[in-house]
Chains A and B, each alone.
Chain A
Amino acid sequence: MARPALDTPSYYLNRELSWLQFNHRVLDEARDPNNPLLERLKFLAISASNLDEFFEVRVAGLVQQIEDGFNEGAADGLTLAEERDRINQETHDFVDKQYDCWNGHLRPRLAEHGIRVLGLHELDSTAKSFVEEYCEKELDPLLTPVTVDPAHPFPRVINKALCVAFLLRRRRRSALTYTGVVTVPRALPRLIRLPSETTADFIFLADLVAFHAARMYHGYDIVSSAAFRVTRNSNLYLAEEEARSLLESVRAELHNRRKGDAVRMEIEADADPEIIERLRGVFELDSWQVFSVNGPVNLSRLFNVYEQTEHPELKFKTFVPRELRLTAKSSDLFEELRRHDVVLHHPYDSYDSVISFIESASADDRVLSIKQTLYRTNEHSLIVPALIAAAAKKEVTAVVELKARFDEASNIKWARDLEDAGVQVFHGLVGLKTHCKLSLLVRRDPDGVTRRYAHIGTGNYNATTARIYTDLSLLTADAEITSSVHDVFSFLTAYAENPSYDPLLVAPLDLAEKILQLIEREAHHAREGNPARIIAKMNALLDKKTIMALYQASQAGVEIDLLVRGICALRPGIRGVSDRIRVRSIVGRFLEHSRIFYFANSGEEEVYIGSADWMPRNLYERVEVLVPLKDPMLRERIRHEILEAYLADNLKTRVLMRDGNYRRAWQSPGSKRMTKPPANGFNAQEFLIALAEGKETLQDIPMLPSKARRRALVLKER
């Protein structure tokens, strides 16, 4: 019987449903009693803000496409309408699960620890008088009760802004009901801390607004009230080719984003059906786009509770990242780098080393020029001031990506500040996002030789996220690599295309093609009976060509382990197609963000790190860089410390099953029973912390029982 073609739809998983699965894993962390309580709350808040973004970008785009008359879907064969219906069902279930987690688990557990989110009726007299005063002093001046009728059109409702709707009836006049609406300007915290000596008490601003605004409608009876929140399409629609200045057009579109059409409305579950219907009409929503929520309309605000309460016993233990130590022979980092490359694994290795690489370059008179890409950086970034300070004395070039989603506004600000300071600012190439993380210094060293030094990362130059994202940094003075990094900067600033960026893999030029070649090479090795193996770690796997290459490699006998945190369109375990492919996802304390690609290559191991996921947008629409690690010691570390630990994890790992669902690594396949995680389970992130703190060693990574078996299998086949 002929084998079905590798592009058979049933061999692929749906992108959006796979993403929703990922958010389920985040929510599962919120439901997991083994996590500290406030961390669980944080996971719940993250799952809510993730879902916001999903609606603003993905669902909005889908609805738009359907409206524009498209219906053809992606590799998995679902039509857009079918996809929408599945999303409808899945997101409603998901939201129910979120509120169940909040009402049924977190809220009561937190109250046991004296952290309470109260309703108006639960306040004691002190809190009540505080609330009265707060409403009078802080809230009253900001609120304006608006009644909607033909003379008073509906006020604009800003994306994700809190609003309260009222159903009103004129006193002693008519049986007609009116709609009242109060929009709450962004001047006040969405969760307000109440005075209390022994407990940490909070109340939602929405409750206070409903309470106070009701008193502002003089001459009306309030029939019913409900807080609601509208999510709008937040995609930017840029006509880049025509734009005079990219900066100006991004700025203008950023403003338009606020006017994007509504894609979702969340409203309190006890809202009068009449209110819901009226609002649904105003925002032109289908009934599936209305989410009745059994609690506060914006769970992501619960993050404030996490931030505003101490209780270290309810949070993850803090840890001390490992500082980079120079060998005794080197007087500074540059000398160290001339001896050997350095790999840092953040957050276990301190990100300060990367910042001080740039800071010391800024202060060092020997450094002649600095080139730097910026995609997302933090608010109080030390890198931007370092570049500004350096601009006075040396040549400084920055490639600032203006289209980094949801960071556009702050990046425009950086770009302006840098420009004002005399930094040469480029906005990257038309139509391509600059996603690679590169920093390049030219330095006249004490021996009179001018050398280049580079930093290549998998994560953004952002000290805040570097503490919670796992990422890798390569610091190197290797002449070949730094020269190619220089060429990449020329590509970014002058569109000067080189035939080859060897040893770097650069998207959109040759990265996709080379990845396919690397996968095919492993397949070839397997066919020849040579050692072949692929271990790839990334955030998302979506590119169809790459997936087909992986299927072919699996068919050729290559053992493939994929560590894909988020979306994975590859379906593992299909007999004769992907039975040698295992997909794992780790969702835990840190957001897995590093991209690592390991190829056994018949004994000549190769390891690449960089900024690119295997998604079409990374491979074809962005400037991305992957760099090979040349130093065998560093390859060894990646393989036997980092990848080994991740593959051995059985506490935070979920295994993707053939049906597209994930199960915990410690759960036996098929059994739906929630058993307990093993007492002696292995948590890779915790292990890497302990390793950084010197409390554990590599010998503590458990040997995978399956690995021995796998090896035997490979031998047998040979």
Chain B
Amino acid sequence: MSIHHRSRSRNVLRAGVIPAALLMLGVMVWQGSTAAFTATTGNTGNTWSAASLTLTNDGDVGTFQAGTTAIFATGGTSNISVPQKTNFLIPGQTGTKCITVKATGNVPGPVLFNVSNLVTTPAPDLTGSLTVNVQYGPTAAASDAAAHLACDNWIKSVAPLSAPASATTPATPTGVVAVASGVLSGLSTTGVSTGWTTAGTATGEWGLFLIQWTLNSGLGNTLQGGGAGAAFNWSQTVGT
């Protein structure tokens, strides 16, 4: 009796599929093992992350933000007795505020200061007649509140009438550095040294900046009704 013979090619397929599967399994295990263990020995898991530099300031109100509301503002109607309000200025008038800058980077670096966004309106332009004096005062304060209080106390020691009620003990920081001084239009719009180099403390370190303005005396009537404006900036750059 003769039976149907299974085709040779189908038999090859039947016989070959098992070693093919085993070969595939072996390759998969080999590749998976080398990828997971061998090829990576000693030199994987390297990561790079850029250092961070973060500056915030409290705008003289004790709450730290990257950008804060102007410390000198022309709000209100008539307030000669409140020097922080800067409307209806008369020649010789002066005002003082203190901004606390907080650095929370993780690398050390110098802090620079500049002014920007000069406003020369309403005409006539006052930026050439408004003298601004910026000073840096180091502080060993270890908290936002302590640094803010030190700032207020500095105002009280320099300009008692301008000091906010929160100021308790007048005190001028030791090691005060003159950062910028002159008429507003003459202040640097690119960063100048403040004398403050941060240590790179992630939990924060603080610098005090006293800003005084004076509308120059001896001005003629031509400046009546004039205006001026500016932004104060602190910056920190490390590396090239």
A binds B: no
